[in-house]
Structure 1
Amino acid sequence: MTRLALLALAVTLASPAAQAQRQSTTDLTCPQARGIVARAGGIVLGTGGPTYDRFVRDRNFCAPTEYTRAAYAPTRTDPRCFIGYTCFEPGRGDWFGDY
């Protein structure tokens, strides 16, 4: 690819129109949302309105110092659907199961 083509691709992907196409859990059924996370391994999904989060299949998709926490999101069929996990950096008080 030429530099111009790469630049055009980067501008297109960074445009608001490309970002506005983020898939939302509220448009999916609970099994569909869970399946997307399972297939992708790690993915950013909208969770209703302007909110979003990054969901992961397992700890392999987190930074080496991060752990997973069960993640629930609203879906079309379930207001509190378990769709995977989120990554978090444990704090001082988190080492005894308080997270």
Structure 2
Amino acid sequence: MKRTLLALALLAEAGSAAAQGRPDTLTMTCRDAQALVNRSGALVLGTGPFVYDRYVANQTYCSQGEMAQPDWLRTRDSSACMVGYLCKPVSRRPF
């Protein structure tokens, strides 16, 4: 009986952690979203229902072969807030 209760408690805790979700820019001010990205360095932000992407504070959080490009998002108080950068593949043009 104790094992069953312990197992149920562990499952409940895991379920609540999974339900927390990701930060949503639509519920934050522009300044709060910018501060979150800068403080975290890199994180996944929700930008609407079922829409999300990974934002970084600067180039050091991108992989080799990627370049940090600024991105503007809608926040609670702004329709175009530069919250951070997206890591995009560097395009190689043939000579």
Q: Which amino acid in structure 2 is aligned with residue 39 of structure 1?
A: R
**Structure 1, gaps ≥5 residues long:** 1-7, 94-99
Q: Which amino acid in structure 2 is aligned with residue 64 of structure 1?
A: Q
Measure the CA separation in 2 of the matches of 1:19 and 1:87: 27
- Report the CA distance between 1:62 and its aligned residue: 0.6
Q: Which residue of 2 aligns with 1:68?
A: 68
Helix, strand or coil: the match of 1:34?
helix
- Once the two structures are superposed, residues 21-76 of structure 1 have per-residue CA deviations (whole angstroms, 9 ceiling, x without a partner) of 21100000000000000000000000011100110000110102211100111100
RMSD: 2.2
Measure the CA separation in 1 of the matches of 2:19 and 2:86: 21
Q: Which has the larger radius of gyration?
A: 2
- Report the CA distance between 1:92 and its aligned residue: 2.5
Call closer, same or farther: CA 1:80–1:17 in 2, change over 3 Å. Answer: same
Measure the CA separation in 1 of the matches of 2:19 and 2:50: 12
User: What is the count of residue pairs matched by the alignment?
Assistant: 83
Q: Which residue of 2 aligns with 1:81?
A: 81
TM-score by length of 1: 0.74
Helix, strand or coil: the match of 1:38?
helix
- Report the CA distance between 1:85 and its aligned residue: 0.4
Measure the CA separation in 1 of the matches of 2:20 and 2:66: 28
Runs of 4 or more off by more than 3 Å in structure 1?
none
Q: Which amino acid in structure 2 is aligned with residue 81 of structure 1?
A: C
Measure the CA separation in 1 of the matches of 2:47 and 2:19: 14
Call closer, same or farther: CA 1:75–1:91 in 2, change over 3 Å. Answer: same
TM-score by length of 2: 0.77
